[in-house]
């Protein structure tokens, strides 16, 4: 079997609802999302899949959804959206104070709105939040990434071998893998 892996770094924060340790607090990481695809036969060009296709359809889409956002599960979003709107408005207004203009809101996924495998952007007070139908732990994000790749790229020839989410690299690596059955 041939395998290819591609990945992307994404900077975002998250909150783990109900966590008994420090992840109850809002905190962030420089994450790495990786997808490994496999095929027994290569396509006519000699690829499992063109890296550009994997990158654009899956990895860049994840980047647009998550880059510089706060990732929350649906329950945390519902419980805190009003407070986030007030906070977001104050944070966003600082642009007016510093620059004399609020400028443009950062991009999300997709540019006109919508969902990416059940996740979506919300804009409380013009700050970016990525809302998932689950609490965004590394393990659940890896499963979500694997299912997104499956829905987007897999066919009778190409299979998703693994989706990996690396939450942190320093001081030690913290890695979650999802391997479809």
CATH of residue 103's domain is: 3.30.479.10
Strand 70-73, strand 129-132: pairing: parallel
Range of the domain at 53: 2-178
Q: Is the pLDDT of residue 44 over 90?
A: yes
> What pLDDT score was predicted for residue 63?
98
> What pLDDT score was predicted for residue 112?
75
**Residue closest to 116 by CA, chosen among 49, 32, 60:** 60
Output the CA angle 141-52-68, nearest 5 degrees.
40
Count H helices and E strands in the chain, helices first.
4, 8
C-alpha distances (whole Å) from 84 to each of 1, 3, 76, 113, 141 are: 48, 42, 11, 19, 22
- Both structure tokens of 145: 């990434």
DSSP element (H, E) containing 144? helix 138-153
Residues 84-89: contacts with CB under 8 Å, at least 24 apart: 84/124, 84/125, 84/127, 84/129, 85/124, 85/125, 86/125, 87/124, 87/125, 87/127, 88/123, 88/124, 88/125, 88/126, 88/127, 89/125, 89/126
Q: What is the pTM of this model?
A: 0.95
SS3 state at 90 = helix
Q: Is the pLDDT of residue 88 over 90?
A: yes
Q: Count up the domains in the chain and report the number.
A: 1
Q: Is the pLDDT of residue 96 over 90?
A: yes
């Amino acid at each position: 079997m041939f395998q290819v892996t591609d990945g992307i770094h994404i900077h975002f924060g998250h909150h783990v609802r109900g966590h008994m340790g420090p992840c109850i607090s809002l905190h962030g990481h420089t994450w790495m999302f990786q997808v490994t695809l496999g095929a027994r036969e290569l396509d006519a060009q000699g690829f499992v899949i063109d890296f550009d296709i994997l990158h654009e359809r899956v990895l860049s889409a994840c980047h647009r959804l998550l880059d510089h956002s706060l990732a929350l599960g649906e329950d945390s979003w519902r419980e805190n959206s009003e407070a986030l709107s007030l906070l977001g408005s104050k944070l966003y207004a600082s642009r007016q104070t510093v620059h004399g203009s609020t400028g443009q809101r950062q991009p999300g996924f997709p540019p006109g709105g919508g969902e990416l495998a059940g996740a979506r952007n919300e804009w409380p007070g013009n700050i970016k939040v990525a809302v998932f139908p689950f609490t965004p732990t590394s393990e659940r994000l890896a499963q979500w990434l694997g299912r997104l790749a499956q829905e987007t790229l897999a066919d009778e020839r190409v299979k998703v071998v693994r989706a990996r989410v690396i939450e942190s690299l320093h001081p030690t690596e913290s890695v979650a893998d999802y391997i479809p059955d």
